[in-house]
Structure 1
Amino acid sequence: VDFALSNLVNCGIRTVGMVMPYNYRSIIDHTGSGKDWDLDRKNGGLFILPGSAFGTSRTGARFLLRDLIHNKAYFKRSNADAVICSTANFVFNIDLDEVYAAHKESGADITVLTKTASEKDGDVTAFDVIDGRVQGVRQGVNFGDTMFLDCFVINRQLLLDMFDWYAPTDYLDLFEAMSGDFGRVDVRTYDFGGYVAPIFNKRTYFRANMDLLDPRITAELFPADRSIKTKTHDTPPAKFEVGSRVLNSAVASGDRIYGSVSDSILGRNVIVEAGATVRNSIVMQGCIVKSGARVENAIVDRGNVVPAGTELRGTPEEVLITEKAHE
């Protein structure tokens, strides 16, 4: 959620509602009161909104109508002209002030953030577009299609009207419910030319993390004038012990490196013992890679211990994943 929240607050938005999934404990633990995003305030701030835990819904719906309608009072209390909606399925850093300005200038009812797809992806929503106006919506993109970045600006009163229009089909995604109404609702695109990483499965999650090892991508994602905020931790700097070897890796605070790490991402408080090797992998917070162990093409979830002399190895095409250790 860091990129979605940061994109919003970086353009001056100080009232943010987060619709929670059924299992939301880790999200609440991460965001807290919203202090790290300057959202712990008396006026506005971060609002935790309930999602719809029960009932039929279309699998993969990003903006489930039932979730939105369930929180109708939140939208009615606002005096804003427009609402910006976003999921946390995409990684990108954008100036939403420019998107909103384009929305106002065009006079559109809805402005959707889009990008030209560079590959086939069945999890990403595609729009059929003619002269910048959306004519249809479908699931899955091919190379060259207009893909939806799950972020849009909508006039608030129109959103409230849609709650009434589409109440009988509240099990659908908002844009799926709109599929027959693109003639009367003016939906226009805002094409984003920057870096975008969709994250819907382990393959795309792994690739997006590995992209962070490219200095050009990190420079674009983390510019000084649009910083990405996250939960802060009081953790000492990483320590690289004598004899350790680290190449082209992102190493977090609190890590202790005695062994070899290359082309990898390490979360906080990870220990790589002497004689251990981590290569082309993601090792999450609090893990210990024991002496003589080897981790390659793998995602090691939080709190795991890789025993001495063992090997966790996947392939670049099929990354190995270990489950989160039970607390």
Structure 2
Amino acid sequence: MDKLLGIITANYSTKYPSALSESRPAASVPFMGRYRLVDLALSNMVNCGIHTIGMVMPYNYRSLIDHIGSGRDWDLSRKQGGLFILPGSAFGTSRTGSRFLLRDLEHNRVFLERGTCDLVLLSSANFVYNMDYDDLIAAHRATGADITVLTQQATRKDVDITGFTCEGDRVKGVKHGVEPGDTGFLDCFVMGREFLLQLLDWYQQTDYLDLFEAMAADYDRVDVRTCDFDGYAEGIFNKDTYFKSNMDLLDPAVASKVFPEGRAIRTKNHDNAPAKFELGSHVANSRISGSCRIYGTVTNSILGRGVVIEPGAVVNNSIVMQSCIVRSGARVENAIVDRNNEVPAGTEIKGTSEAPYVKEKPTE
């Protein structure tokens, strides 16, 4: 019997979509050069011993399926349990902000009914953090709550993060957006499998709502408790928070919290050759993925697989995704360059640290 059943929801869109999410779901947006955002949610579950995971897919699932495949790279290609691809409702990506749509859960009721474990852990794929979920599960069992949500005190205003109104550790209400000091929801919670099925019956007439929206009038009878997370966590809902989180992880102190020893973040294995730093190149405080060839200068930046920086080219404080070429004499600064782009020789792409420029993926 599995310790837990896991569900990752990917069938949603963001309120402020950018060129990065026009052709792919948020869960499959590249992160830190060699990863995708979904890798963190999958790895967190696998690292705490969850070996049966269902992933609710959006309609534009091609890049997500291409990345996760059968789940082999997360040790989820197995005879018992493993990775299950679950259909999302067509309503999912048309309604922004709802990461735990009741309709998506109801459409996959059979997956829940066939489970043999007593608890279900649900997560979205929009948050960057690395946590031992055993702590969340222990907190849930210790309080005897109906639902235990993973939270962190907000440090800035964010309209995309769900906020909770609390009395002590007891949730009394839900709101859209957080202000500094509010209790922010990290889009992860644990609850009883049978109780989740019961909630689906309770709210079957309002299945167009998010689970926590549907419970708005019932927080007095449903015992929802918080479990505070004190590590690094960043919600990625637009290009600005995406850029910030990537840049944050160039700080070794922050990177050690997201990539600690013993809790690896797994990703699809590409069997790339190592990066090659040619004579005359200069690289400082950057994350360089496999198969890159560096002839020019790269500082405070992140390069995806197979990127080529030609002689005389400069990349500073930027994210350059897979299979891009920055030609001789070109300069990229405070920018996000999506995959398969070519920056022509002598040109300049420049944004600011607060408002990075995004060069979208070329039309195939």
Q: How far apart, CA to CA, are the structure 2 residues paired with 1:196 and 1:210? A: 13
What is aligned with 1:298?
335
What is aligned with 1:8?
45
Tell me which of 176, 179, 187 is aligned to 1:142. Answer: 179
What is aligned with 1:316?
353
Correspondence 1:239 to 2:276: yes
Correspondence 1:89 to 2:126: yes
Secondary structure, counterpart of 2:361 in structure 1: coil
Secondary structure, counterpart of 1:180 in structure 2: coil
Secondary structure, counterpart of 1:179 in structure 2: coil
**CA positional deviation for 1:56:** 9.8
Q: How far apart, CA to CA, are the structure 2 residues paired with 1:125 and 1:56? A: 17
Secondary structure, counterpart of 1:126 in structure 2: strand
**CA positional deviation for 1:316:** 1.4
Letter in 1 for 2:109: K
CA offsets 1:9-45 (integer angstroms, 9 cap, x no match): 1010100000001111111011000001000001000
Q: How far apart, CA to CA, are the structure 2 residues paired with 1:40 and 1:232? A: 14
Tell me which of 118, 123, 126 is aligned to 2:155. Answer: 118
Between the two proteins, the alignment pairs up a number of residues equal to 327
Q: Is the 8 A contact 1:10 1:95 kept in 2?
A: yes
**CA positional deviation for 1:58:** 4.1
Q: How far apart, CA to CA, are the structure 1 residues paired with 2:97 and 2:136? A: 25
CA offsets 1:245-300 (integer angstroms, 9 cap, x no match): 11111111100000011110000000000010101100000000000111111100
Q: Is the 8 A contact 1:297 1:319 kept in 2?
A: yes
Correspondence 1:325 to 2:362: yes
Q: How far apart, CA to CA, are the structure 2 residues paired with 1:41 and 1:242? A: 46
TM-score of the two chains, using structure 2 as the length reference: 0.88
CA offsets 1:164-188 (integer angstroms, 9 cap, x no match): 1111111110000001111111000
Q: Is the 8 A contact 2:58 2:93 kept in 1?
A: no
Q: How far apart, CA to CA, are the structure 1 residues paired with 2:277 and 2:269? A: 22
Output aligned runs, 1:59-98, within 5 Å. 59-98=96-135
Secondary structure, counterpart of 2:159 in structure 1: strand
Secondary structure, counterpart of 1:127 in structure 2: strand
Correspondence 1:36 to 2:60: no
Output aligned runs, 1:154-233, within 5 Å. 154-233=191-270
**CA positional deviation for 1:55:** 8.0
Letter in 2 for 1:89: N
Correspondence 1:133 to 2:192: no
**CA positional deviation for 1:325:** 2.2
Letter in 2 for 1:65: L
What is aligned with 2:3?
none
Q: How far apart, CA to CA, are the structure 1 residues paired with 2:93 and 2:317? A: 40
Secondary structure, counterpart of 1:151 in structure 2: strand
Q: How far apart, CA to CA, are the structure 1 residues paired with 2:310 and 2:55? A: 40
What is aligned with 1:153?
190
Q: How far apart, CA to CA, are the structure 2 residues paired with 1:37 and 1:59? A: 29
Specify which structure has the bigger relative contact order, considering alpha-carbon pairs within 8 angstroms and separated by 6 or more residues.
2
Q: How far apart, CA to CA, are the structure 2 residues paired with 1:89 and 1:252? A: 22
Q: How far apart, CA to CA, are the structure 1 residues paired with 2:194 and 2:333? A: 52
Q: How far apart, CA to CA, are the structure 2 residues paired with 1:54 and 1:133? A: 31
Letter in 1 for 2:58: P
Q: How far apart, CA to CA, are the structure 2 residues paired with 1:296 and 1:137? A: 39
**CA positional deviation for 1:315:** 1.3
What is aligned with 2:21?
none
Tell me which of 300, 320, 330 is aligned to 1:263. Answer: 300
CA offsets 1:129-173 (integer angstroms, 9 cap, x no match): 112000000000000000000000011111001111111111110
Q: Is the 8 A contact 1:56 1:171 kept in 2?
A: no
CA offsets 1:164-220 (integer angstroms, 9 cap, x no match): 111111111000000111111100000000000110000000000001100011111
Q: Is the 8 A contact 1:124 1:139 kept in 2?
A: yes
Letter in 2 for 1:230: T
Provide the aligned C-alpha RMSD in A: 1.1
Secondary structure, counterpart of 1:46 in structure 2: strand
What is aligned with 1:23?
60
Letter in 1 for 2:158: D
Q: How far apart, CA to CA, are the structure 2 residues paired with 1:325 and 1:253? A: 22
Q: How far apart, CA to CA, are the structure 2 residues paired with 1:209 and 1:266? A: 11
